């Protein structure tokens, strides 16, 4: 396969190689989307049709969806996931931009040491942390109350080191004069951050929002460990344990999975442009 | 104004010479006020638990018991002879060695192809990103079904091509590569976007200059694209390796009843830790495994940063 560098803009050449590129990309997209399509189509098949190998359901039915929504705790788990993912995302957006801003725009002793310490936490495997977290949460008896249970699920994700890195990169590119001008106008330091700096880094906030939301929507290891009662399960944990509760009912699982994709797809569709702009502009380049 | 007061802090100070020591003290105070809560968070939720893990690994710690006897390095000695740990370690290495190069190559390849096409570019990009936003648990369920030996569409397709049906996830030999394929499939969209961003940052003039000098496409790729893409590749390899070394969710959910696949063939270190700590409540021993995993991640990350990062004159 000969892959060449992108052609300069404005140059039109629909040669054989461009056609080949389209061909390969299309085959790739079909392979990529096949499991997706299979999931959606299976969720529309009736129980009798389930093990029929036809791609399209002969007699499409929404029965699986009805059952998932009415006969399982799906809606409860969905709500739990939504709550957990939303709260952690808001917290990460606030604290990570505050820390990123401070590390980029203030001069104080210990600045680089603090940055390096925060970044180094990226190398600590989650597995190493969950055991002490579990021991701590058990000792404090947190999961016995409603706020305690939700707090237990959320607390590890409230601030993210990756986000601090991302936001710092963004704030570094902000001109100092702008902040200085606000300072001369007598604006409070927090006001400068909140009303001057923050609105200027919207693309970064959007991409941080989607990655954080996605990460917490998908979080599995810690919620699996910490949640004791079925009503506090998040969607991934609930669906994973479907097996035991519903028997292996493929139709139900596929319907539940299809529904679980919706919020993330919506967030992605909404922020697509900013996400990519965010990645382009951040230091993910290195 | 006390212009004689000692000024530090580079640019800001240089531009506003009237800035006094009290202003700087104000800056320092503000900075630490802003950082107070986050620093406490990192201390309590990241650093203290890490130290606790180190400590736990020296005890025969079981949360269900009253007594937690100190055993020194006994847990680490046991690890050396633990066959299941050895298998989990080999599997994890295999996942990383398959997954990282494949996802980097595919991600870069697709990004380059996307660079060649104009029409439908945004659509293709969005479609490749779709698996990345699919919940991992859902994807694992679909994967089980798609690769099912009896009623999976992949085997139907193979039969259709007159190829023998494959056991995939049910065979000790094929389960690991099939699982790795799931992870690559899920990560691909992010890799594509990452490389698109990296490619977009390379100034077009370099390619124009190369073309004027009569360089072939292959030469331009080796001499311009690859070197200037080096930071993106390093980022992708380092973060990808860290993620593969902690592989858990996909492996568990491909086979929830028989965790770790047939004969432990898909078992990873992370899954082994989970089973030890929360299946058998051997938290001291599990902590020893986490310490080893941490050291491996640390060592590999440092080596990768040392050997992959090269400086080029841009």
Cross-chain Cβ contact A35/B126 below 8 Å: no
Contact A171, A198 (CB under 8 A): no
Residue of B nearest to A124 (CA): B294
Cross-chain Cβ contact A35/B41 below 8 Å: no
pLDDT (tens digit per residue) in B13-61: 444 545 568 888 988 999 999 999 999 999 999 999 999 999 999 999 9
Residue of A nearest to B41 (CA): A159
pLDDT band at A76 (very low <50, low <70, confident <90, very high): very high
Q: Does B248 touch chain A (CB under 8 A)?
A: yes
Cross-chain Cβ contact B130/A33 below 8 Å: yes
- β-partners of residue B216 are none
pLDDT band at A276 (very low <50, low <70, confident <90, very high): low
Which among A6, A39, A189 is the top mutation candidate for probing chain B, defined by the most B β-carbons within 10 Å of its own β-carbon? Answer: A6
pLDDT band at B215 (very low <50, low <70, confident <90, very high): confident
Given this model, what pLDDT does residue A100 score? Answer: 97
Residue A273 pLDDT greater than 90, yes or no? no
Please, which residues 65-104 of chain B have a Cβ atom closer than 8 Å to chain A?
Answer: none
Q: Does B196 touch chain A (CB under 8 A)?
A: yes
ipTM: 0.87
Other residues' Cβ atoms within 10 Å of the Cβ of residue A190: 12
For residue B114, give the nearest of A25, A33, A286 by CB distance: A25
What value does the mean pLDDT of chain B take?
88
Residue A178 pLDDT greater than 50, yes or no? yes
Q: Each residue of A46-78: b (16+ CB within 10 Å) or e?
A: eeebbeeeeeebeeeeebbbebbeeebbbeebb
How far is the C-alpha of B185 from the C-alpha of B177, rounded, in Å? 12
How far is the C-alpha of A111 from the C-alpha of A104, rounded, in Å? 9
pLDDT (tens digit per residue) in B224-259: 999 999 988 998 999 999 999 999 999 998 876 667
CA pseudo-torsion sign B148, B154, B156, B158 = negative
For residue A218, give the nearest of B135, B150, B200 by CB distance: B135
pLDDT (tens digit per residue) in A102-132: 999 999 999 999 999 999 999 999 999 999 9
What value does the mean pLDDT of chain A take?
86
E strand or H helix at B13, and its extent? helix B10-15
Cross-chain Cβ contact A108/B201 below 8 Å: no
Given this model, what pLDDT does residue A247 score? Answer: 58
Contact residues on chain A for B249, CB-CB shorter than 8 A: 218, 220-221, 236
Cross-chain Cβ contact A32/B134 below 8 Å: no
**Strand, coil or helix: A239:** helix
Which whole-number Å values give the CA distances from A62 to A43, A69, A251, B80, in the listed order?
8, 11, 10, 54
Contact residues for B306 (Cβ-Cβ < 8 A; gap 6+): none
Given this model, what pLDDT does residue A222 score? Answer: 96
Given this model, what pLDDT does residue A226 score? Answer: 95
């Amino acid at each position: 396969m000969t892959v060449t560098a992108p052609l300069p803009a404005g140059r039109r050449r629909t040669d054989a190689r461009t056609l080949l590129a389209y061909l390969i990309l299309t085959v790739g997209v079909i392979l990529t989307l096949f499991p997706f399509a299979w999931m959606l189509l299976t969720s529309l098949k009736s129980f009798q049709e389930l093990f029929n190998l036809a791609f399209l359901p002969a007699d499409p039915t929404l029965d699986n969806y009805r059952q998932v929504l009415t006969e399982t705790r799906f809606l409860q788990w969905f709500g739990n996931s939504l709550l957990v993912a939303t709260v952690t995302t808001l917290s990460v957006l606030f604290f990570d931009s505050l820390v990123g801003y401070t590390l980029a725009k203030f001069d104080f002793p210990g600045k680089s040491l603090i940055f390096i310490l925060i970044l180094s936490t990226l190398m600590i495997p989650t597995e190493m942390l969950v055991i002490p977290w579990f021991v701590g949460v058990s000792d404090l008896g947190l999961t016995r109350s409603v706020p305690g249970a939700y707090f237990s699920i959320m607390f590890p994700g409230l601030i993210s080191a990756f986000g601090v890195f991302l936001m710092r990169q963004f704030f570094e590119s902000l001109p100092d004069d702008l902040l200085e001008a606000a300072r001369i106008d007598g604006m409070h330091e927090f006001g400068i951050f909140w009303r001057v700096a923050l609105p200027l880094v919207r693309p970064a906030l959007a991409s941080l929002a989607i990655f954080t939301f996605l990460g917490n929507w998908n979080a599995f290891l810690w919620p699996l460990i910490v949640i004791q009662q079925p009503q506090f399960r998040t969607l991934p944990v609930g669906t994973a344990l479907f097996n035991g509760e519903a028997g292996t009912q493929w139709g139900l699982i596929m319907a539940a999975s299809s529904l679980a994709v919706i919020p993330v797809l919506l967030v992605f569709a909404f922020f697509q442009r900013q996400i990519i702009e965010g990645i382009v502009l951040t230091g993910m380049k290195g | 104004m006390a212009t004689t007061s000692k000024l530090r802090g580079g640019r800001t100070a240089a531009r506003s010479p009237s800035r006094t020591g009290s202003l700087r003290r104000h800056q320092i105070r503000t900075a630490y006020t802003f950082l107070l809560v986050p620093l406490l968070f990192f201390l309590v939720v990241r650093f203290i638990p890490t130290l606790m893990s180190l400590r736990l690994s020296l005890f025969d710690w079981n949360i269900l018991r009253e007594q937690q006897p100190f055993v020194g390095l006994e847990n680490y000695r046991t690890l050396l002879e633990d066959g299941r740990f050895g298998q989990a370690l080999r599997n994890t290495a295999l996942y990383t060695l398959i997954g990282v190069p494949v996802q980097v190559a595919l991600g870069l390849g697709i990004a380059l192809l996307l660079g060649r096409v104009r029409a439908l570019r945004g659509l293709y990009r969005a479609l490749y990103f779709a698996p990345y936003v699919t919940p991992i648990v859902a994807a694992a369920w679909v994967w089980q079904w798609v690769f099912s030996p009896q009623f999976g569409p992949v085997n139907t397709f193979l039969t259709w091509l007159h190829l023998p049906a494959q056991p995939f996830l049910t065979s000790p030999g094929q389960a690991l590569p099939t699982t790795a394929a799931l992870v690559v499939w899920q990560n691909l969209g992010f890799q594509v976007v990452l490389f698109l961003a990296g490619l977009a940052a390379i100034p077009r003039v370099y390619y124009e200059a190369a073309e004027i000098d009569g360089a072939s496409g292959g030469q331009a790729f080796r001499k311009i694209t690859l070197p200037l893409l080096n930071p993106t590749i390093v980022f992708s390899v380092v973060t990808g390796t860290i993620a593969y070394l902690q592989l858990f969710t996909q492996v568990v959910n491909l086979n929830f009843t028989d965790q770790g696949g047939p004969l432990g063939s898909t078992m990873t270190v992370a899954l082994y830790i989970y089973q030890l700590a929360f299946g058998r409540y051997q938290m001291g021993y599990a902590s020893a495994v986490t310490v080893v995993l941490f050291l491996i991640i640390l060592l590999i990350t440092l080596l990768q940063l040392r050997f992959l990062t090269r400086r080029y004159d841009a």
